Amino acid sequence: MRERLDIDHRESCRIHVGVGLGEELADFVRGRGVDRIAVVADPAVAARARALGERLGAAVVLEVPGGEAAKSLGRMAELAEAIFAAGLSRRSMIVAVGGGVVCDLAGFLAAIYMRGVDAVFVPTTLLGMVDAAVGGKNGVHLDDHKNLLGTIRQPVAVFADLEALATLPGARRGEGLVEVLKMAAMLDAAAFEELERLAPELVAGDREALGFAVSTGIRLKMEVVAADARESGRRMLLNFGHTVGHALETATNFRLSHGEAVAVGMVIECRMVGSPLGPRLRTLLDAIGVDSRWPVDCDRDRIWRLMTRDKKASGGVVLVAAPRALGRGDVVEVGPEDLARARP
C-alpha cells in the first residue's frame, strides 16, 4: 500500500504511509535543498539509521539511548552541541529514526536549534507512527513532570514505512494500537468496530491490518490537528487516557510503558465520567494483549496529586477527555471523588 496525507494548518506536513519508502524519502530531502543533515536515531534501529544517513549524505548520525529517561534537558544539550560541532546551520535538517522518544527529542531539537530547522520523522514503531510523529507536539521531561517543556511545531514530512513493523515485538505493537483505539473510541465509531473485527490479525502482525491501523490513527489525528493545532479546543479530545496515564507512568517510574499506562487510564477515565464504553474497551484491550488493570502498587492519592500537576490542569481544575458514547468524545471536569469511585 501507498498513501500520502497532508496537514496544512499554518505549517504544512506531508505524511507518507507505505512499504519501501526509502527512495521517496531521499527524493523529498534532496528537494528541500538543505546544506547539512543530522540523523538522530534509536540504537535499536542503528543499522537502518546509518544506511539512511549514508543515502542522504548526513554530516552526523547520533544514537540516543532509548527509554523515557532520555527525554531530558541534559540530553537535549548534548544533541545540540553535537549537531553544532557537525556544522549544521539554519538551512540544515534533522531526521529522526526510531520510536516516540527519538521523535520527541529530534522534534524539540529542530524547533529550538537556531530558532528552527526542518525536521523529518521516520518512525519505526507503531506508536511513533500514529502518535509521536504526527501532530507537531514534542518535548522533554522536567524532573518527574512528563513533557512539561516542549513546543508545537510540525515536521516537514513523516515517512511511516510499514516494513519497520515486521520485526516489532507484539508488546510494542500493542502499545501503538492503544493510541489508535483511543482516537477511534473518541472520534470514529466505524473505525473502532473495524479494529474490533481485525483484532486477531493485528495481534498476528498482518501487514494489511496494521496498515489500516496506521492510516486510521494518522487520519484521525490529522483531522483534529488541522482544526486545532495549538490544543485550545478539539485537540484536547486526544488526551483520552492520558491524564491518569501520565500520572501512572510517573508513579511507577516508567515501569509501565506509555501504552500500558494509557490503556489503564482509558478504562479508569471512562469510569470517572460514567461512560458506558469502559467494558467494551477493556475487552478489546485484552484481545490485543494489553493489560488495563490498575497496578497494585499505585496509591490513589498520589495519582490524584500528580493529576493536579498535569500540564493540562489549571487552577486546581483537572480535566479528562472520555467518550460519552462510541465515537463521541467530550472533555469533563473531575474531582478526587471520581477517581476514588473509578479505581478498583
Q: Report pLDDT for 223.
A: 87
Catalytic positions, written as ranges? 115, 137, 179, 221, 231, 235, 239, 242, 246, 258
Cell of 167: 520485526
| Inter-helix orientation angle 73-85/100-112, to 10° | 60
What are the tens digits of pLDDT across the range 137-191? 888 988 877 888 989 898 999 999 999 998 888 888 998 999 999 999 999 999 9
Mean pLDDT value across the chain: 91
Q: Report pLDDT for 8.
A: 55
Burial class of 317 by CB neighbour count within 10 A (0 to 12, 13 to 18, 19+): exposed
What are the tens digits of pLDDT across the range 285-318? 999 999 999 998 888 999 999 999 887 777 778 9
Q: In whole angstroms, what is the distance from residue 213 CA to residue 233 CA?
A: 25
Burial class of 157 by CB neighbour count within 10 A (0 to 12, 13 to 18, 19+): buried
Rounded to a whole number of angstroms, the CA Rg of the chain reads 19
Tell how strand 2-9 and strand 11-18 pair up. Answer: antiparallel
Q: Report pLDDT for 74.
A: 92
What are the tens digits of pLDDT across the range 314-325? 777 899 999 999
Q: Report pLDDT for 270.
A: 97
Q: Report pLDDT for 214.
A: 95
Q: Report pLDDT for 2.
A: 67
Q: Is the pLDDT of residue 123 over 90?
A: yes
Q: Is the pLDDT of residue 230 over 70?
A: no
Q: Is residue 69 within 8 Å of residue 254, measured between CB atoms?
A: yes
Q: Does residue 319 sit in helix, strand or coil?
A: strand
Q: In whole angstroms, what is the distance from residue 261 CA to residue 241 CA?
A: 8
Query: Could you tell me which of 111, 191, 125 has the C-alpha nearest to residue 154?
Result: 111
Residue 284 binned pLDDT confidence (cut-offs 50, 70, 90): very high
Q: In whole angstroms, what is the distance from residue 344 CA to residue 342 CA?
A: 6
Mean pLDDT across 99-117: 94
Mean pLDDT across 97-119: 95
| 16-20, 183-187, 225-229, 273-277: segment of lowest average pLDDT | 225-229
Q: Report pLDDT for 241.
A: 96
Q: Is the pLDDT of residue 232 over 70?
A: no
Q: Is the pLDDT of residue 194 over 70?
A: yes
**Alpha helices, H only, the chain:** 22-32, 46-56, 73-85, 100-112, 126-127, 170-187, 189-204, 207-227, 242-251, 258-273, 278-287, 300-308, 336-342
Query: Could you tell me which of 188, 244, 237 has the C-alpha nearest to residue 213?
Result: 188
Q: Is the pLDDT of residue 11 over 70?
A: no
Q: In whole angstroms, what is the distance from residue 7 CA to residue 15 CA?
A: 8
Percent of all residues in the chain with a pLDDT value above 70, rounded to a whole number: 95
Q: Report pLDDT for 3.
A: 64
Q: Report pLDDT for 1.
A: 61
Q: Report pLDDT for 198.
A: 97
